[in-house]
Amino acid sequence: MRRFLIIAMIALGAMLAASLVVLAVIWLPVERAPSGDPRGTGSPLEPDHTVSGLVIPPFTMRDQDGREVTESVFDGRVTIVDFIFTDCPSICPMMNSVLSEVAGRLQGTPVRIVSISVNPERDTPERLRGYGSHYTSDFSRWTFLTGDWATAQKIVHDGLGFLLRRDPDLTTIAAGGGTTYNVTHPGKLILVGPSRQVLTWADYSFDSEVKALEDRARKAAGALR
């Protein structure tokens, strides 16, 4: 009987020790990577692990003044990118309004902005200039680009992995009257680094994400200097 009690006490002690170890593991503080840098490298120019490998591919488009622009517009710079079309009745005006506020807060930094049309057949350079004037008066900092559908697909889907789809059965009111089809496209603000690599992105509708992207853009631009 005594031997049984000793064995039981030893077993109980072992169970208690194991429980304490488990609790210690559960309550140990977790070291978190800095905000906007899930890899924990500390460098604002290092892509987040969730977007690692995503790159703006080579392209040729035209800006709001009809000038030819290639992927070199991103080289050596920190740029915020979004995708829009001028007849968009929903997320595009809201997204670019948010982006306009971000641009105002980043005034005085070298961070640039590029908006790329996903309805290039309708979005001529002239239309883009008129559209863009609602959000900026400085087209040297904020460039609007248009090209063709294949180029838009190459950037949005092939380069960045987002869905880009024409929705001919879902019509929307066109600028100047009439109707046009809707285009399903990303509602993200995308931060692109100096080698055209994606650093991070944010949903325009979440203030905390937009603020984190804005801070990251400022730090990334500062790291280039």
| Residue 138 φ then ψ, to 5° | -120, 90
Q: What's the CA angle centered on 113, arms 43 and 84, to 5 degrees?
A: 120
Give me the torsion for CA of 113, 119, 124, 128, rounded to 10°: -30
Does the pLDDT at position 65 exceed 80?
A: yes
- b/e burial code for range 1-10 (CB count within 10 A of at least 16 → b): eeeeeeeeee
Reported as a single tens digit per residue, the pLDDT across 196-222 is: 999 999 999 999 999 999 999 999 999
In a domain, 151, yes or no: yes
Residue 167, token pair as written in the block: 């929705």
pLDDT band at 193 (very low <50, low <70, confident <90, very high): very high
Cα–Cα distance for residue pair 55/184, rounded to 1 Å: 21
Reported as a single tens digit per residue, the pLDDT across 125-154 is: 999 999 999 999 999 999 999 999 999 999
Task: Tally the residues of the chain.
Answer: 225
Does the pLDDT at position 60 exceed 70?
A: yes
* pLDDT computed for residue 178 by the predictor: 66
Strands 142-146 vs 165-173: parallel, antiparallel or unpaired:
unpaired
Does the pLDDT at position 49 exceed 70?
A: yes
List the domain range (segments joined by +) for residue 167: 49-224
Cα–Cα distance for residue pair 64/9, rounded to 1 Å: 81
Interhelix angle 91-105/207-224, rounded to 10 degrees, is 40
Q: What is the CATH number of the domain that holds 181?
A: 3.40.30.10
* pLDDT computed for residue 167 by the predictor: 79
Cα–Cα distance for residue pair 180/172, rounded to 1 Å: 5
* pLDDT computed for residue 173 by the predictor: 67
pLDDT, mean of residues 78-98: 93
What does the DSSP assignment read for 18-40? HHHHHHHHHHSPPP-PPTT-TT-
In a domain, 37, yes or no: no
Residue with tokens 């005594």: 2
Average pLDDT, the chain: 83
In a domain, 23, yes or no: no
Tell me the CA end-to-end span of the chain in Å, nearest whole number.
Answer: 79
Sign of the CA dihedral with 192 first, then 197, 203, and 208 last: negative
In a domain, 169, yes or no: yes
In a domain, 79, yes or no: yes
Cα distances (Å, whole numbers) of residue 147 to 103, 153, 171: 24, 11, 22
Q: What's the CA angle centered on 69, arms 114 and 112, to 5 degrees?
A: 25
pLDDT band at 89 (very low <50, low <70, confident <90, very high): confident
Count of the separate structural domains present in the chain: 1
Percent of the chain with pLDDT over 70: 76
Q: Where are the beta strands (DSSP E) in 28-164?
A: 60-63, 68-70, 79-84, 112-117, 142-146
